[in-house]
Amino acid sequence: LPTLKEAYRNFFPVGVAVAPRSLTGPEAELIRQQFNSLTPENAMKMGPIHPEENRYFWQDADAIVAFAQQNNFKVRGHTLCWHNQTPRWFFTDAQGNQVSREVLLSRLKQHINDVMGRYKGKIYAWDVVNEAVPDTGTGIYRRSKFYEIIGEDYIEKAFEYAHAADPGATLFYNDYNTENASKRERIFQLLKKLKNKGVPIQGVGLQGHWSIYEPTVGELETSIKQFASLGLQVQITELDVSVHPKEHERRAKKPTDTSELTPDMVVKQAAQYKMLFDTFRKHKGTLTGVTFWNISDKTTWLDNFPVAGRKDYPLLFDQNYQPKEAFKSVVTF
């Protein structure tokens, strides 16, 4: 069988989200063999990389970028402005009071400048703003601290700062549940507004935290086509295919099934992955990258989300780093 990067050489880079500890040993071997793009899973988020106002922690992000350079990988930067994993100091002054719009904007600008500046020319694409649209309701804007303190233009400001910091980088808006009809429409409205205003945004990232039950091919194609109609490129930025009924659980906040991987799940997962990559290839040119969120079923963030204590098996390699049925269905076409 070909490797992922061989099979998709003429289509798009195939990436994987990593922590620095994966850059040695058997995981590094698998990464070098199969992939040609990296995303830091956590290392470039505000909290980890910018723990205090005048202190950055570069070590982990540096290690990932160095590995990429040594092995000829592309890097996707993730992420510059998000309501999660952002330290409290960002929004408060020395007395613990909430900062003004001006202060928060200047902190955001400084942060984007410093992080993008350090890796200028080494990171080809950035998730500038992550998850700014709420899952439910009619509104376009999630009521985050950025929104509350700055107002809706925090999004365009972030893109402007990012474009100024590295004009060569491709700038993305990134979100999940992008195949849900209502959320898709509200994300579309946001992106249309940004494009109409001339905001420097070139792409939309569909996170792709999917499952063996969702999305359908129709839902996925509608999203790709609708976002592409704005002249944006589309990337799948955080792909995994849970074997559990996710939407249902997210609402219930408790597991509805066990940790066992059944033969039926294996078959359904291979079919779902085949459908996804058939669709990605069909949209070659528009679809400019696919990144998996973690390397193998040995460690996946879904073991702790949306509930902890139940194992998931969402990736193409098993807990012993061996290719699964789903891998075969992706590399043979």
Q: Which residues bind ligand XIL (CB under 6 A)?
A: 41-42, 130, 207, 238, 301
Q: How far is the CB of 171 from ligand XIL (least distance, A)?
A: 16
Q: What's the closest the beta carbon of residue 42 comes to ligand XIL, in angstroms?
A: 5
Torsion, Cα 114 116 119 122, to 10 degrees, reads -170
- Joined together, the tokens standing for residue 276 give 């996804």
Is residue 238 annotated as part of the catalytic site, yes or no?
yes
**Regarding beta strands 209-211 and 170-175, do their DSSP bridges make them parallel or antiparallel, or are they unpaired?**
unpaired
Residues 6+ apart with CB under 8 A from 322: none
Q: What does the block give as tokens for 90?
A: 């960002």
N-term to C-term CA, the chain: 11
Q: Which residue has the tokens 């078959």?
A: 267
Residue of this chain nearest to ligand XIL (CB atom): 301
The DSSP letter of residue 20 is G
Longest dimension (CA), the chain: 61
The distance from CA 57 to its chain's CA centroid, rounded to whole angstroms, is 21
Q: How far is the CB of 301 from ligand XIL (least distance, A)?
A: 3
Instruction: Name every residue whose Cβ is closer than 8 Å to that of residue 84 and which is 6 or more positions away in sequence.
Output: 45, 131
Closest to ligand XIL by CB, 42 vs 113, is 42
* Residue with Cβ nearer ligand XIL (94 or 308): 308
- For the bound state, the minimum distance from the C-beta of residue 190 to ligand XIL, rounded and expressed in Å, comes to 17
Is residue 82 within 8 A of residue 29, CB to CB? The reply is no
Nearer to ligand XIL, 77 or 323 (CB): 77
**Out of 41, 160, 179, 238, which one is annotated catalytic?**
238
Q: Which residue has the tokens 């700062």?
A: 161
The single residue listed with the structure tokens 């992080």 is 115
CA gap 48, 66 in Å, rounded: 18
| Residue number with CB closer to ligand XIL (255 or 306) | 306
The percent of the chain in helix, strand and coil, each rounded to the nearest 5, is 40, 20, 40
HSE (side-chain half, CA atoms, 13 Å) at 106: 6
Please, which residue, 11 or 210, has the CB nearer to ligand XIL? 210
- Judge whether 174 and 126 are in contact, CB under 8 Å: no
- Residue identified by tokens 């997210």 is 250
Give burial (CB, 10 Å; 0-12/13-18/19+) of 119.
buried
- Which residue lies nearer to ligand XIL by CB, 22 or 130? 130
Nearer to ligand XIL, 11 or 176 (CB): 176
Active site residues per annotation:
238
